[in-house]
Structure 1
């Protein structure tokens, strides 16, 4: 009955001329309105622009992209319909509604407080300090870029080494012979650092010169022939690369610290789970009492 999409579909059929005529009025009124501006009344009860703004803010993403000229009547019609129904003598504020409103108010007020805390703790100074804490003492580490061919036996691996020494193309052999998941991409492993590969493989890579091919290497996965393509030193990331990540960490830590501080200072009592039958949490019929 109160489907926003019904009103919205109807509004989408408004002629282009009607929308064009509405635009100057909206633009003219924009400088004069506030959230308390009354946009409709239902039996004397005011519906304000702020009510419409809250509905618009909560719309699904597909509606957020629609023009205001289309959304206006859809939102206003929904609010009018809801108010008309809420005013009916048979419409009562049940216990379910009362509890839902209390939860909603609690959540919204808490959210507003969290937003302020988040804004206060995430500053440029805090981000720079956290960056220095996380990355200030990071020493550059050597990373390796390699390809490999994985086969089942040492004999197969030795035959591959011989082919490569004879001038065979490493990537072509990997595509043809490798049983590993990197085979179709020529055995490419990309960049990796110390501790990211199994020990025998890592040791063999570290002992290779750039451009060299290893002797057969045994790991729990089988026999490998490895070619080291290049190496590089990887230091700390630039601040701008991790700014968003650090800001998120600061925000999370700040919010958690604030909540703990408030909870510790509050006079809180909780029902012990040993003193209650927790299965009542699934008894939604209690809301009807």
Structure 2
């Protein structure tokens, strides 16, 4: 039994009669699935509750989840029937929740109208149609402790020695066993002295000894390329979220301009008054 989804597990047994959905009629949101002392619980109540549950509950088997939700609603009815009305605090909470749900409906309507395949494609084209990309480099290096060591290795390379083999033999860096390969990287990912040496190289060439905080390097530029624009599928959600946020903000701005909004100053109190819950208990 999932924790937190139900409470008072046996309380409802004497007070409710669950009604099976009629096989010969198609149920709708008004179909009654339980009665508690005459108060009806409908299929709509169950569906609304299920739609608001956290993701972990959505993974439950349907029959298990249905029974638990119905049990929860029954128990809520039993406890709720003990009250004639909401107290001031809960009445205001209900007002706030109603306001929030109405706002959510407006947001959903805006999203449905504005976040379309056409809008997403247009946003993608505007952002990436003239995408030029950034430089990326594929380089290898040999790292040693002294400049003299680096110069000696450079001399070997100039005489035709294999860079990868010398890296495996001589390099003290972690890439040594892999022939000194650093793979692909962009600007800003290496220390400045190393990056400057890479940027200055032609494809297939090897630098003179370069000193960084890690020691002395010989750098070989294996290849160079431009980054490619991402596929639409990769950035679709991000673009949709941007369109959604922009559309909602535009609507808020429009409504704000059209509305008459007043904010009377609080006399004799500061914002800390919002913590005085006793004002709702008087």
Q: Give the shorter-chain TM-score range.
A: 0.7 to 0.9
1:277 aligned residue = 270
Q: How does 1:19-38 map to 2 (within 5 A)?
A: 28=23, 32-38=26-32
Distance 1:27 1:147 in 2: 73
1:108 to 57, 78, 101: 101
Runs of 4+, deviation exceeding 6 Å: 182-186
In structure 2, the CA distance between the partners of 1:227 and 1:173, relative to structure 1 (3 Å rule), is farther
Distance 1:279 1:27 in 2: 56
Contact 1:7 1:74 in 2 (8 A): no
After TM superposition, the score normalised by the length of structure 1 is: 0.76
1:119 aligns with 2:112: yes
Distance 1:146 1:274 in 2: 68
Please give the per-residue CA displacement for 1:183-233, whole angstroms capped at 9, x wherever unaligned.
787655443345554543333213323343322223466543322222223
1:88 aligned residue = 82
Distance 1:274 1:159 in 2: 82
The structure richer in helix per residue is 1
Contact 2:165 2:179 in 1 (8 A): no
Report how many aligned residue pairs link the two structures.
268
1:178 aligned residue = 173
Distance 1:200 1:27 in 2: 78
Distance 1:95 1:183 in 2: 72
Please give the per-residue CA displacement for 1:230-270, whole angstroms capped at 9, x wherever unaligned.
22233433434433322221112111111221122211122
1:17 aligned residue = none
Distance 2:115 2:62 in 1: 33
131-140 vs 68-77, which deviates more? 131-140
In structure 2, the CA distance between the partners of 1:47 and 1:154, relative to structure 1 (3 Å rule), is same
Aligned to 2:131, the other structure's residue is in SS state coil
Unaligned runs of 5+ in 1: 9-24
Contact 1:211 1:228 in 2 (8 A): yes
How far off its partner does 1:276 sit? 4.2
1:75 aligns with 2:76: no
In structure 2, the CA distance between the partners of 1:170 and 1:51, relative to structure 1 (3 Å rule), is farther
1:63 to 57, 60, 75: 57
Unaligned runs of 5+ in 2: 10-19
Distance 2:21 2:144 in 1: 72
Please give the per-residue CA displacement for 1:138-192, whole angstroms capped at 9, x wherever unaligned.
2355421123355564345445545766446266358x6127xx67876554433
How far off its partner does 1:111 sit? 0.8
Contact 2:36 2:78 in 1 (8 A): yes
